[in-house]
Every structure is written in structure tokens, then in C-alpha cells.
Amino acid sequence: MTRLLWLDYLASLRERKTYVAAAMLAYAVLAIPLLLADPPPHVREAIAAWFDDGDPFAVFMFVWIDLVMNKVVAFIPVILASGVVLRERDTGVLALLAAKPLTLPRYFVVRTISACAVMLTLYAATQLLAAAWYPGRVAGFRPGAFLAAMSLHAFAAVFATAFAATVIVAVGRRGAGTLVALMLLGVMVGLALVGFYQPEWYARTLANPLTLGALAMRDLEHVRASLLLPPMLALTGLTAVTIAVGAWVVRKVEA
């Protein structure tokens, strides 16, 4: 099973959709200085409400998470997870796999973990590229705090990939499932930061996994383990439960 996971991960890295996702992420890194120079009106209003001290790093992190990485988490995981199990069924390969000593739920787990690993690889490479590119280009940029904050958000990206895979197999059709996963993740993204500028809603928004991924925004001056570890553990648990649910519902898929 471990070897199958490794081989599937390597094969997924070489797929065209992975190259397209990598190109999109690289473009996002290059485009951020332009967004910071002239952010959209609603972003300027939110920045004025949140950051009275005008900390340029806090402004950058808001733009990076809200306008870039949350949008990435709503879109790229769905692309990576759209072929889990259902592609094999649609191409007639699933019937062949049924003859192998590997159950369909376990195969789903392998494929989903592989998609999560690809998402994590792309995500980590993007953050490392940003940490190397932005010093001197973004005012007040702090690489250490940036990488620490984004290490938490990476757990949200992995969760989103597992969530997309589970939703798509639950729907049972690749096209319809992809649309449903996009809509649900879009709603999560839209609500992810609501609790920050509407404090009375903050406790409720913690039910949103993508909010958990952005909790480092609460204290960018002191991004420490006590702030990062609880949401990391929560997101790890949610990801495991989501994959388990997907393994249970995938049994209905007919070869």
C-alpha cells in the first residue's frame, strides 16, 4: 500500500493539471506586489478596520491569505481530487482493480492521501518561493512569521483536498461532484475571515476549517506554537475523519 501511494504520488506530480496548478501558484506569487500597490476597495476597507497601526506585514498577510491562498484552497484541491476513483470507473479501470487484493475504500484512501500530498507539495513550494522572493519587494516582510503562519494554513489546504475528494465520490459524478465541491469550498472561503472583522461571530466561525487555517492572523507579532498547534491538530483530525467518511461512501461506486 505504501509503494502504491508513492507511485501514485509521483504519477500525479507529472500530470498536466499539476503543472497548470504550479503555474497558477507561481503567477500568484509574482502578482502580489501589484495587488498590494492598489488593492480592491473592499480590501482597503477591511484593512483600515483591522489594522489601525498600518503594519505593512499585516496588510500583506491579509491580502496573501484572503485574495490568494484562500482562493487557491477553494479551487486547486478540487482539480487535484476530481479524478479520485471516479476516473478509474469512467475509463473502465475500476473493474480491473476489483480483481486485485485491494478494497475500494482502501484504494480511495491511497488516492486521496496522494492528492493531499501533491497539494501539500505545491503549497509548500509556493510558500518557500514567496519567502525567498518577497524580502525587499514587500515592505516589512518577515519570512519567519510568514512561514510559521502559512504552515498552519497548509493544514487547511490538505483538508480542502480530502474534503473535495469525499464530496465528489459522494455525488458519484465527476462533473456534478466537482461543481458541488467548488460551491461548498467557496462558501467556506467566503466565511473564513468573517469572525475577524465581526468579532461577535468569531466563536461560530471556528466551526469552519478554513477559519482554523487563518488563526495565525490573530497575533502576527507573536506567531508561536501555542497559537498554531491546536488548530493544526483540529485540522488533522478533521482531515482524517473526512477521508474515513469518503472511504465509507465510496463503497456505493459501481465498477
Full DSSP string of 36-62: HHS--HHHHHHHHHH-TT--HHHHHHH
pLDDT over threshold 70, residue 255: no
**155-176 pLDDT tens trace:** 999 999 999 999 999 988 888 8
Whether the CB-CB separation of 243 and 223 falls below 8 Å is answered with no
pLDDT over threshold 90, residue 206: no
Distance CA 99, CA 182 (A): 33
Cβ-in-10-Å burial (0-12, 13-18, 19+) of 100 comes to: exposed
Place of cell 519570512: 143
Residue 127 lies in domain: 2-252
pLDDT over threshold 90, residue 223: no
**113-152 pLDDT tens trace:** 999 999 999 999 999 999 999 998 888 899 999 999 999 9
Whether the CB-CB separation of 129 and 150 falls below 8 Å is answered with no
Question: What's the chain's Rg over C-alpha atoms?
Answer: 19
CA 139 to chain centre: 26
Domain count, the chain: 1
Whether the CB-CB separation of 59 and 36 falls below 8 Å is answered with yes
